[in-house]
Amino acid sequence: MAGFPGTIERSNGTLKHIDILLALCRSAMGSGSPVIAHQIERLRDALIEDDDRESAARFTRLLSSEQRAAEMSVSKLKRSSAVLSAGETLTANTVVPVDRETASPLAELIPIERLPLEPPIFDPQQRSALDALLSEWKFADALAERGMPPSRTCLLYGAPGTGKTALALWMARQLNLPVVLVRLDGLISSFLGTTSRNIGALFTFAARYRCVLLLDEFDAIAKLRDDPQEVGEIKRVVNTLLQNLDQRASSGLTIAITNHEGLLDPAVWRRFEIQLSVPRPAFAQRESIVSRYLDSLELSSAKVRFLAWMTAGLSGAEIEQLVRGVRRSTALAEAQDSQMRFDFMNAIQQYASLNNGRLQDTIARLVTGRHEELARTLASARDIGFRATDIADVLDVGKATVSRWLNRSSGEEPAAIGA
């Protein structure tokens, strides 16, 4: 087909299996990605060039219907945004409040166009909960009409690097609202009373505009009030924070983030209608994260699954760092010698040596040790389902060598790896 990569099989002059292809395209367009829409337009144009007007017309109707649905969705979001956060519109020229003593800005404004389009990768249960929460916010106007206001406060908690901030920013993008990002550790002042004043100024600012108020490092202020190590000032600060959260709950949307949920005052927990744990990724999610950050680097499915296996216990941010390290090793090999063959396991061993504090001890030992022991462990790992050919691909050895390792008599049991 002219203008379109690959060859498309036809039947009676029209695109074969067009119903299946249309269903796939319709499903892909649900992501809202302009890249998907562009590729479907290319397919439509290629069909027109090949004089398959009937098939082209069906793709034109698909594009038109999805565009109308997107416009209706934006309209609903605008109405729901008004319910969630009434007020003035934030612009690039909006002046944020500053600390009176230092003149430092108390918040960062993130416009809608800078918010992420891609959602973080979560397991199906977590994603289902997120979809339910977003539906509640997207149809806030309908709920309000029935006397059931949507949840306006959400606490995201979990280990560092699990994607809490990225999730909050993506949620704001789905609601078509800009973000007022506040790192609460930056609000604390050595001047008596200044911290409480800063909190009050921020909440007053957020109440004036249509926005999502995102409170990062939330545990910096919202500590246990009965902590014997804290002075009376922090207790007053927590009380000020609680009062402002209560007031904002009737007029705006607030998302708080913490890596240390155990430090939060019980009264703070009660202020949040939604309390969402963001866990470390399981194997399937790690595999998806690896694939996302490979970018233009092409790795076999066996190598992708191996990276997902060896990153057990790591956060999404740490997995991204590993993948970027592999990509750097590839680029360096090509820069030094365009004919040089990229050594995958060498790159992995370098990462393990430089970051053995991140990896599980057993994994770090296996990756940097004898290939034979690693091969036996991979063969016994149920989550990745490796065959001898997969192990040979990862370790860059012959299949016969792997088979010999696996068949060799040994009294040792393969190392057990945590999920």
Q: What angle do CA 139, 143, 146 make, to 5 degrees?
A: 150
- Asked if 387 and 330 sit in the same domain, the reply is yes
Same domain, 263 and 403: no
Last residue of a domain, one of 84, 99, 121: 84
115 shares its domain with 258: yes
Total domains in the chain come to: 3
123 inside domain: yes
Measured N-to-C along each axis, helices 344-354 and 316-336 cross at an angle, to the nearest 10 degrees, of 130
Q: Note whether 233 and 354 are same-domain residues.
A: no
- Range of weakest confidence among 46-50, 218-222, 333-337: 333-337
89 in a structural domain: no
Confidence bin at 409 (pLDDT 50/70/90): very low
419 in a domain, yes or no?
no
Pair (235, 354) in one structural domain = no
Does residue 57 lie in a domain region? yes
Please tell me the predicted confidence (pLDDT) of residue 225: 61
Q: Is residue 332 part of a domain?
A: yes
Q: How far is CA 78 from CA 73, 88, 174, 210, 284, in A?
A: 9, 13, 11, 11, 35
The answer to whether 26 and 32 have CB atoms below 8 angstroms apart is no
Pair (263, 292) in one structural domain: no
115 plus 257 within the same structural domain: yes
Span 274-296, average pLDDT: 90
Residues 322 and 244 placed together within one structural domain of the fold = no
> What was the pLDDT predicted at 148?
82
Rounded to whole angstroms, the Cα distance separating 214 from 257 reads: 8
Q: What is the CATH number of the domain that holds 171?
A: 3.40.50.300
Q: What is the rounded average pLDDT for all residues in the chain? A: 81
Look at residue 134 in the predicted model and tell me its pLDDT. Answer: 86
Task: Look at residue 2 and tell me if it is in a domain.
Answer: no
Stretch among 62-66, 201-205, 349-353, 367-371 having the lowest mean pLDDT: 62-66
More confident position, 83 or 142: 142
Residues 230 and 258 in one domain: yes
Selection from 73-87, 208-222, 348-362 with the highest mean pLDDT? 208-222
pLDDT exceeds 70 at position 305: yes
In degrees rounded to 5, what are phi and psi of residue 163?
100, 20
Residues 22, 58: contact at Cβ < 8 Å? yes
The range of the structural domain enclosing residue 48 comes to 10-84
Which residues face 253 on adjacent strands?
212
Is residue 236 located within the same domain as residue 123? yes
Q: Which of 419, 418, 390 is nearest to 306 (CA)?
A: 390
String of DSSP letters for 38-82? HHHHHHHHHHHHTT-HHHHHHHHHHHHHHHHHHHHHHHHHHHHHH
Q: 304 to each of 47, 322, 374, how far by Cα in Å? A: 35, 12, 16
Q: Evaluate whether residue 93 is within a structural domain.
A: no
Structural domain contains residue 412: no
Pick the last residue of a domain from 249, 277, 305. 277
Q: Which residue bears the tokens 């990569």?
A: 5
Identify whether residues 287 and 260 lie together within a single domain.
no
Q: Could you tell me if 271 and 296 lie in one domain?
A: no
Going by pLDDT thresholds of 50, 70 and 90, the confidence category of residue 3 is very low
